[in-house]
């Protein structure tokens, strides 16, 4: 039969049997569903979820708590990304960077993508409530809802501030990680939220500068398309400075110590210097360098918090507060 005919697999070893057509199609379908979740993007979100878990309690969280929180976070972010691609399927078809995704590529139908995204969202909420706590489940759901309805549904096609306001969705993971351990939200994770929030615009505006022709063709009012390159360079520098201020704020509030201070100064200094470089010499090479560094920056900054936690104890009289569900 045609369906069971062997399919050559160039990656198979000499002793491996060739895949059948059914096996090849199944593997392709699984790959497409995984692609819908945008796993490379989620990996950074999981890093900024994980490290706050080690700062939220007096001892390291259990392996099971980490596992369930990571799975729940992955499902929430993956579901949001899938529904984002469902809503943006017309845009993704126009842009070169996205036209090979499963939906514009014709490998999955819109209803399949929509159902997949909803199932991941429901599974995330149920898993986090069951294995972690209700506050963590609500926070993850809030990030999902903000990304899908506020950013994707409302802002992305109508406002140059789409990335600025929409960045709140991507800033939720530190709150999720902290709440998973403490079942509350405190001042330090709120500052972490603001760090990710102000990191988002220069990161995505750098990408938009390199892809602005595609965004213009798709009708997406990204800042470089509407305001031009020079204003985008200025905004990248402005937000880089604001990012540095919020990155150092935990030290002045005595929530983090000298190890973090040294590392944060170095990491933010490089970020601001690269933003200045773009302002002075706006070449694609400088923009691309900032974009790549911004990914490394966020992971290293949160890692610096974890390293500092090994050596620093928050003073009893440090400014702090916490909030938890009233039930």
Model pLDDT for residues 262-310, shown as the tens digit of each residue: 999 999 999 999 999 999 999 999 999 999 999 999 999 999 999 999 9
pLDDT digits (tens, 9 = 90+) for 130-165: 999 999 999 999 999 999 999 999 999 999 999 999
pLDDT digits (tens, 9 = 90+) for 224-240: 999 999 999 999 999 99
Task: Please report the beta strands in the chain, taking only residues with DSSP state E, as ranges in sequence order.
Answer: 6-7, 19-20, 185-186, 322-323
pLDDT at position 237: 98
Dihedral angle over CA of 157, 162, 168, 170, nearest 10: 70
Q: Is the pLDDT of residue 326 over 70?
A: yes
pLDDT of 251 over the 50 cut: yes
Using the predicted structure, report yes or no on whether residue 120 has a pLDDT greater than 60.
yes
Structure tokens at 253: 């509030």
CB atoms within 10 A of CB 174: 30
Residue 27 has pLDDT above 90, yes or no: no
pLDDT in tens, 188-220: 999 999 999 999 999 999 999 999 999 999 999
Q: What is the phi/psi pair of residue 58, to 5°?
A: -75, -15
Give residue-wise pLDDT tens across range 38-93: 998 899 999 999 999 999 998 999 999 999 999 999 999 999 999 999 999 999 98
Taking residues 85-106, what's their average pLDDT?
Answer: 90
Would you put residue 38 in left (φ > 0), alpha (ψ -120 to 50) or beta? left
Residue among 321, 305, 178 nearest 251 (CA):
305
So what's the pLDDT on residue 58? Answer: 87
pLDDT at 1: 34
Q: Which pLDDT does position 5 carry in this prediction?
A: 45
Distance CA(166)–CA(171), nearest Å, equals 9
pLDDT at residue 266 in the model: 98
Task: Return the closest-CA partner of residue 274 out of 288, 261, 263.
Answer: 288
- In DSSP terms, 323 is beta-bridged to 185
pLDDT of residue 4: 43
Helix (H) or strand (E) holding 163: helix 162-170
Query: Residue 2's pLDDT band (boundaries 50, 70, 90)?
Result: very low
* Overall average pLDDT of the 305-325 stretch: 92
Mean pLDDT for 15-39 is: 79
Tokens at 278, concatenated? 């773009």
Please report the pLDDT score of residue 3 as a whole number.
Answer: 43
Q: Taking the C-alpha atoms of 190, 195, 201 and 206 in order, what is their torsion angle to the nearest 10 degrees?
A: -150
Both structure tokens of 112: 């399949």
pLDDT value for 8: 52
Closest CA to 152 of 72, 89, 96: 89
Q: Is the dihedral of CA 173, 233, 238, 276 positive or negative?
A: positive
Compute the 3-state secondary structure of the chain and give helix, strand, coil in percent, each to the nearest 5.
70, 0, 25
Q: Which long-range contacts (CB under 8 A, 24 or more apart) does 13-22 make?
A: none
Residue with tokens 């992305």: 156
> How many residues does the structure list for the chain?
327
Q: What is the DSSP string of 10-35?
A: TTS-TTSPPEEHHHHHHHHHHHHHHH
Residue ranges and CATH numbers for the domains of the chain are 25-184 (1.10.357.140), 186-315 (1.20.120)
What percent of the chain clears pLDDT 90, i.e. is strictly above it? 83
| Cβ–Cβ under 8 Å, residues 19 and 7 | yes
């Amino acid at each position: 039969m045609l369906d069971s005919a062997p399919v050559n697999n160039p990656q198979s070893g000499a002793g491996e049997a060739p895949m059948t057509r059914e096996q090849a199609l199944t593997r392709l379908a699984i790959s497409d569903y995984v692609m819908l979740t945008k796993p490379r993007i989620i990996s950074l979100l999981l890093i900024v979820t994980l490290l706050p878990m080690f700062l939220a309690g007096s001892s390291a969280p259990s392996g099971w708590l980490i596992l369930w929180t990571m799975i729940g976070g992955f499902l929430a972010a993956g579901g949001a990304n899938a529904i984002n691609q469902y809503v943006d399927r017309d845009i993704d078809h126009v842009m070169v960077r996205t036209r090979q995704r499963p939906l514009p590529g014709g490998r999955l139908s819109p209803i399949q993508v929509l159902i997949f995204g909803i199932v991941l969202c429901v599974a995330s909420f149920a898993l986090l409530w069951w294995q972690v706590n209700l506050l963590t489940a609500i926070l993850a759901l809030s990030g999902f809802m903000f990304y899908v309805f506020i950013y994707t549904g409302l802002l992305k096609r109508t406002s140059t501030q789409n990335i600025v306001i929409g960045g709140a969705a991507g800033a939720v993971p530190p709150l999720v990680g902290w709440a998973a351990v403490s079942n509350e939200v405190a001042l330090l994770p709120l500052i972490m939220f603001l760090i990710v929030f102000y990191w988002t615009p220069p990161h995505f505006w750098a990408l938009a500068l390199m892809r602005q022709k595609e965004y213009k063709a798709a009708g997406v009012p990204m800042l470089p398309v509407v305001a031009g390159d020079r204003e985008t360079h200025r905004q990248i520098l402005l937000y880089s400075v604001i990012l540095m201020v919020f990155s150092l704020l935990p030290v002045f509030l005595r929530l983090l110590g000298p190890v973090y201070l040294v590392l944060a100064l170095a990491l933010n200094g490089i970020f601001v210097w690269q933003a200045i470089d773009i302002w002075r010499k706006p070449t694609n090479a400088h923009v691309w360098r900032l974009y790549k560094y911004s990914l490394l920056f966020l992971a290293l900054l949160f890692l610096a918090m974890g390293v500092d936690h090994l050596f620093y104890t928050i003073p009893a009289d440090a400014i702090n507060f916490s909030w938890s569900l009233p039930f």
